[in-house]
Structure formats: structure tokens, C-alpha cells
Amino acid sequence: MTYGIMFLRVLPGRTFDETLEEINSAYAPDADVRPMTVTGDELGVWDRLVQRISREVGPVTTEDYPYSLTLWRDGPAGHLQLDYLSDSASIEIPYRYPGQRALPIMAEAYRIARTTGRARVHNCQMGSSERTRYGRPRGRRRGRSRGR
């Protein structure tokens, strides 16, 4: 279980939930999963986002997968993960920070969320891992790691 913050570009004429349901349908057990193709503009947004987050909260690590552009932050406040797609993003924080102990990592997550929201995506939704962990296909340069 995780704390989650999700950003999603809502499809025209749809609600957030309808858009999320359509995206999730691509990951049904019988669906063909296709890697995401990242454009040069989208890669530029991702690279700028990683640089801004590094300046805002400190060192991060990134990795490019066939289905995700992922950023990890392991700092004094705790651990979080940002998964980025050109039209959506999600931040997940392990549910191991109870009560007051969650405040530092959540403050860091919201700083990253503000930076992410300004980068490109439109609507924000908060919830549990059931709403935020949907495995949207993304990808380029398999397995290439970049430390920032």
C-alpha cells in the first residue's frame, strides 16, 4: 500500500475517473502491452523536470524503462518514486511513515508534485495505490540508468 499523488491529462469530454478507467483497460490480462514512444519534446520535459526536482529536494536517481521514466528520491525525509508519462505522472510513497513521521516525506512529495504539475500535466488526484499504480506503458532506452 502506498500514499499516492496522480497527475493525468483528462481526455476531451471525459472525467478523470473515465480517463483513468480507459487507461487501465489497456492493462487487462488479455491486453497487448505496448512500450511508450517518447518524443524529443517529451524527453526534454522529463529532463527539465528531473533537473528542477534535483534543485528543489536534492539528489535523485532515474532510470528509463520500456514502460516508464522513473525517478527515485532517497533522502533524509524518506523514499518516494515518480513515474512519468508525457500525459500523466504519479508519485508513490511507501506506507511506512505513520502520523507525524509522514510529514517530512509528504512535504517533499508535494514540492515534487508542484514541480511536476507545472511541467506539463493538468489534473491532480490523490489516493491509494489502487488508483495510482496502473502501469501505463512507457519506454525508451531499455535499462539505461542515469544518476542525478
Contact assessment for residue 91 and residue 80, using Cβ atoms and an 8 Å cutoff: yes
Cα angle 123, 134, 19; round to 5: 45
Question: In whole angstroms, how far apart are CA 71 and each of 23, 25, 31, 95, 100?
Answer: 21, 25, 27, 18, 25
The predicted-structure confidence for 48-90, as pLDDT tens digits, reads as follows 999 999 999 999 999 998 878 999 999 999 999 999 876 788 9
Contact assessment for residue 140 and residue 38, using Cβ atoms and an 8 Å cutoff: yes
| Residue 100, burial from CB neighbour count under 10 angstroms (0-12, 13-18, 19+) | exposed
The predicted-structure confidence for 84-109, as pLDDT tens digits, reads as follows 876 788 999 988 888 898 899 999 99
User: What are the chain's domains?
Assistant: 2-139 (3.60.90)
The band of 124, judged by pLDDT with boundaries at 50, 70 and 90, is: very low
Output the pTM of the full model.
0.72
